[in-house]
Amino acid sequence: MAPKNIAKSFLIATATALVVRLFVVEDFRISSDSMTPNLLKGDLILVSKSAFNLRLPFSSFELFRTGKPKRSEVVAFSVPEQGTDTYVKRIVALGGDRVEIKEGSLWINGEMAEYQETPESNQILEKWPSGRSYQITKGKSQLADYGPVDVPADHFFALGDNRSDSVDSRKWGPVPYSCLKGRVALVWISVGSSGGVRPSRWLSAIQ
């Protein structure tokens, strides 16, 4: 291939990668245990940036919305009062919902989630009134009782799956849709604290 064609191909590839990074997908590293057992510290996740909105590159300005978040989705977002940090949590309620936590149990619109033991001694299955279920980490939360809180329109309420070790909407309250950075699509690679890779988690979907 001629040098001119090589340079052209390189520029096209670079431009394509930049567009994908700016508008389509971005990777984030999980740096805490707040989403165990479903996301582990050291997981590298891919986030679909176009799932909810498109933003002006290198700014928080929203060009237009492309979709609405749903309950149970794991999302990446910022919190106005917390600076530029990115948080990854699970949406448990949307605008118009009432959220309450009583003795560690989640209540949505007056209905309590069901809890079942699992083969994993440190995990428990949480089943929402809607029928959606997933495993969370057992533990006595420092905020075992919370609310009730009515979620305003165009806001969401998010919790970590590890309720005892998560800073989330129990501290900040509901978060505006405009703060969403995207929907977590999958774990594309995972590296443990000792530096060892965890191949069993590569390219794994989010529960």
Of 183, 27, 155, 11, which Cα lies nearest the Cα of 79?
Answer: 155
Q: Which of 49, 89, 138, 181 is catalytic?
A: 89
Cα–Cα dist 52/100, whole Å:
26
Helix (H, G, I), strand (E, B) or coil at 198: coil
Start-to-end Cα distance in the chain: 46
Alpha-carbon distance of 2 to 8, in angstroms, equals 10
Which one from 34, 48, 169, 190 is the annotated catalytic residue?
A: 34
Q: Is 34 a catalytic residue?
A: yes
Q: Which of 95, 89, 93 is nearest to 77 (CA)?
A: 89
Q: Which residues pair with 93 in a beta bridge?
A: 157
Q: Are 155 and 175 in contact (CB under 8 A)?
A: yes
Number of C-alpha atoms within 13 angstroms, CB side, residue 45? 27
Cα gap 77→198, rounded to integer Å: 26
Residue 31 · residue 41 · CB < 8 Å = yes
DSSP reduced 3-state for 19: helix
Report the catalytic residues. Answer: 34, 89
